[in-house]
Amino acid sequence: MTQPTDPARTDLPQLPPPLRVLTWPQYEAAYARLTAAAHRYRLQLPGAAAAEMVTDALSAAGVFPPAPAPEPDTCGALYLPHDPQSQGFEPELLGEWQQCAGEPGHGGRHDNGEFIWDDGMPGAVPARAQAEARP
């Protein structure tokens, strides 16, 4: 799944308060602060490492990164693992967005081999209509 921004994607998952999802500008500000702090300690962090550190630190406090742009050519439904205790997943998946591995426009539950979810569940973002509208 790509991490680049998708500013047009404004749909957010429902999460139990006080959990929340950051906007892309908020996430990018946190990322910039982390990399600036690392630079002060003369640490050169690969981008993926910095992103994982930001996600892990913020997610531990109940604040999650924004939804990434879904990978094309598969179901665009996304799921945000947000409660490792009640949902029974490994803590390192906290805040790591998941994308359904099904065909675009499929019916029923979404599944990526790691998680199974419904569109109405907390943390779920339904696939957008444009996935089915593509030629």
Q: Would you tell me which residues interact with Zn ion (CB under 5 A)?
A: 75, 77, 100, 102, 110
Work out how close the CB of 19 gets to Zn ion at its nearest, in angstroms, rounded to a whole number: 23
Residue closer to Zn ion (CB basis): 21 or 100: 100
Closest to Zn ion by CB, 56 vs 111, is: 111
Indicate the residue among 55 and 98 with the shorter CB distance to Zn ion.
Answer: 98
Nearer to Zn ion, 63 or 75 (CB): 75
d(CA 15, CA 27): 17
